[in-house]
Amino acid sequence: MAKQQQDLDQLSINTIRTLSMDAVQQANSGHPGTPMAMAPVVYCLWNQVLRFDPDDPIWPNRDRFVLSIGHASMLLYSLLHLAGVKAVNPKYETLGQLSVTLDDIKNFRQLDSKCPGHPEYRWTSGVETTTGPLGQGVATSVGMAMAGKWMAQYFNRPDFELFNYDVYALCGDGCLMEGISSEAASLAGHLKLANLCWVYDNNRITIEGNTQLAFSDDVATRFIGFGWNVTRVGDANDLEVLARALNTFRATPDRPTLIIVDSHIAYGAPHKQDTSAAHGEPLGEKEIQETKRRYGWPEDAKFLIPDGVREHFREGIGKRGGVLRGAWMTKFEAYQRQYPTLADHLYKMQQRHLPDGWDKDLPEFPADAKGIAGRDSSGKVLNALARNVPWLLGGSADLAPSTKTRLTFEGAGDFSALDYSGRNLHFGIREHAMGAVLNGLSLSKVRPYGSGFLIFSDYGRGPLRLGALMEIPVIYVFTHDSIGVGEDGPTHQPIEHLASLRVIPGFITIRPADANEVVEAWRVVMQFRHEPVALILSRQALPTLDRSKFAPASGLAKGAYVLADAQGGKPDVILIGTGSEVGLCVSAYEQLTAEGIKARVVSMPSWEIFEYYCGKHPEYRESVFPSSVTARVSVELASTFGWERYVGSTGRIIGMESFGASAPLKVLSKKFGFTVDHIVHAAEEQLPKSSNR
């Protein structure tokens, strides 16, 4: 019996290997080496350890598996197919068909296949996160582990342990060279995330050759310094030692675990190393035949799945996962009866819905010429929302006192190794890891926010982009939004950042003009289910507009709206502003009106929302920006890039063409032309002389 089990184990491992070889060869593109070498590792994890039900790959308490070495995607696709993982549709409904069919594998890296070059969340069920940029996967796994700890504290009750899942991430030398992995590992060790396990494929090969060219870290010592438990497997093919290492992780209660696995790429045998196979080149038909011969495989067979392999996975991960999920569902039914409110919260959270009354008690701000900074009004709104949405949690990269993102109401608490129930997260000065952790939290269905200065959004660009690619509703609160930071100078004055965020597909930027637009911005943001968003907020006070005199702030929901208009609604010139510059436009409007010039002010907090709304309501664009009115002025304390789409070829763009300077804001505003007189002059220049009075 033991011999039969060993034979099935090896047959299954070699099936993963040969599927990977064949898929890469047929595509004439991809990375066969790592899937071949690490097949025993993932086989052991999936079929012997992972608590995952292939029939319900979004079961909330499933163990998570993250393939951080996304170039080894065939490793994951082979597993998803052999384990019989079912597809899930956008409505979170489990479908009868396979997530990855054999035809998908045969069409690896081809258009519309569920097996793209790197794993993509939402495209292929069973893929927990989009990976590809090295280090992102392991860093994202930290957020998943944090979410598991928080949900256990919030939902678990005596006799009802709803959350106790573990998170596994498979990484390589490239992941551990990237700085983000060190940021994330440091945070995970500090938080003592005992539900987190990274498996490190120590194959000592990168694209340029042996890692000795650029990497000589003592990884084990480094991770011990981070506060991790470290264990080693000397041979990736030794299933017994692999299982022992994984059991050691599950028995370690007070810290995350790193399992260092020594492997040899390509054949998965110690006598052969081939860097090309590891990084982007097929093996070639002759070498595939030789390799299959070593495996005792039919040399000419392609995409062969021998009898008994699928059944073996069904008896392993399929049976174990089905039993665990069934017991969980039975427990949840009883939980619903005993804790109906918590059960409702869990359902809504998993569906990305909001609880009843989520927007009650939001503040309203009276007209005030002195006003309030965008970051301050945002902090008040955030605290009101967080009281109503228990799974809204977040923090900053060590800047919460400046970004006003700390939750201050009773019971909010701090998330720490001593108390995982806290809702204030502390990321330390780790913007890059913060973004990936936020993605991991969101993928686990809590609603996360992270904050920092807008200038430092550059430090987190990778995960910010991946969040948009995955269509997950992460919230960023970026403050200190312009040269308004004054004396801090060009190193802290964001210029190109708004434009660079606006060009990310599926990413939403909102730059509110006053406190009541901030309220409406949060109201809109909380209802997003698939879009990451950045709230761009000022450090300096912004006048709170008198909404009895100007249009209501609810117009923000359309992305842009007419804030103040010419009598009769037929302007000769349109002034367009965002954020703090809307107040300047209003003052310029009043001066132009006094001169007898028919002017309109458009507050345009979000290009993306405006374009989306106009896509559904084409007539709205004309109502805001009549094509007959070509005299237009845009005003934004940022790069001028992109504004020509709204001012046209003859309009004027008042913006930044340099990196700014170190000086008080009033001095900078005058130097760079952000004055009422400059706006008025730019408007008048476009009008016939007869219209100027």
CA-based end-to-end distance of the chain: 98
What average pLDDT does range 290-296 have in this prediction? Answer: 94
Q: pLDDT at position 273, please?
A: 42
pLDDT higher than 70, residue 481: yes
Nearest to 542 by CA among 490, 574, 581, 575: 581
DSSP for 110-158 reads: STT-S--SS--TTTSTT--S---STTHHHHHHHHHHHHHHHHHHHH-BT
What average pLDDT does range 252-274 have in this prediction? Answer: 72
Q: pLDDT at position 265, please?
A: 58
What average pLDDT does range 408-424 have in this prediction? Answer: 98
CA 546, CA 369: separation in Å to the nearest integer? 9
Q: pLDDT at position 692, please?
A: 45
Task: Determine how β-strand 167-172 pairs with β-strand 64-67.
Answer: parallel
What average pLDDT does range 476-493 have in this prediction? Answer: 93
Strands across the sheet with 632-639, in order?
561-564, 599-603, 573-577, 632-639, 652-656
Q: pLDDT at position 298, please?
A: 94
Q: pLDDT at position 272, please?
A: 41
CA 516, CA 514: separation in Å to the nearest integer? 6
Q: pLDDT at position 177, please?
A: 96
Question: What global pTM score does this model have?
Answer: 0.96
486 confidence band (pLDDT: 50, 70, 90): confident
According to DSSP, residue 569 is labeled G
What average pLDDT does range 459-476 have in this prediction? Answer: 97
List the alpha helices (DSSP H) in 351-453.
Answer: 374-388, 400-403, 431-443
Q: pLDDT at position 243, please?
A: 97
List the structure tokens of 561. 């709206």
What average pLDDT does range 230-235 have in this prediction? Answer: 97
Cβ partners under 8 Å of residue 216, min gap 6: none
CA 3, CA 11: separation in Å to the nearest integer? 12
Q: pLDDT at position 264, please?
A: 76
333: helix, strand or coil: helix
Dihedral angle, C-alpha 340, 341, 346, 351, nearest 10 °: 100
Q: pLDDT at position 693, please?
A: 42
Percent of the chain whose pLDDT exceeds 70: 97
Minimum mean pLDDT range among 275-289, 326-340, 486-500, 592-606: 275-289
Q: pLDDT at position 688, please?
A: 87
What is the amino acid identity at position 476?
Answer: Y
pLDDT higher than 70, residue 151: yes
pLDDT higher than 50, residue 270: no
Q: pLDDT at position 152, please?
A: 98
Q: pLDDT at position 91, please?
A: 86
Model confidence over 528-555: pLDDT tens digits? Answer: 999 999 999 999 999 999 999 999 999 9
Model confidence over 242-251: pLDDT tens digits? Answer: 999 999 999 9
Q: pLDDT at position 266, please?
A: 47
Q: How many whole angstroms from its chain centre is CA 425?
A: 16
Q: How many whole angstroms from its chain centre is CA 13?
A: 33
CB 598, CB 564: distance < 8 Å:
no
342 confidence band (pLDDT: 50, 70, 90): very high
Q: pLDDT at position 210, please?
A: 84
Model confidence over 558-596: pLDDT tens digits? Answer: 999 999 999 999 999 999 999 999 999 999 999 999 999
CA 245, CA 85: separation in Å to the nearest integer? 26
Give all domains of the chain, ordered by start, each with its CATH number: 2-326 (3.40.50.970), 368-542 (3.40.50.970), 555-691 (3.40.50.920)
pLDDT higher than 80, residue 280: no
According to DSSP, residue 596 is labeled T
The residues assigned a catalytic role are: 431
Nearest to 575 by CA among 511, 627, 689, 652: 652
What's the full length of the chain, in residues?
693
Average pLDDT, the chain: 94
pLDDT higher than 80, residue 691: no
Cβ partners under 8 Å of residue 319, min gap 6: none
CB 633, CB 647: distance < 8 Å:
yes
Using CB atoms within 10 Å of the CB of residue 540, give its burial: 0 to 12 exposed, 13 to 18 middle, 19+ buried.
Answer: middle
278 confidence band (pLDDT: 50, 70, 90): very low
Minimum mean pLDDT range among 258-267, 326-335, 617-626, 634-643: 258-267
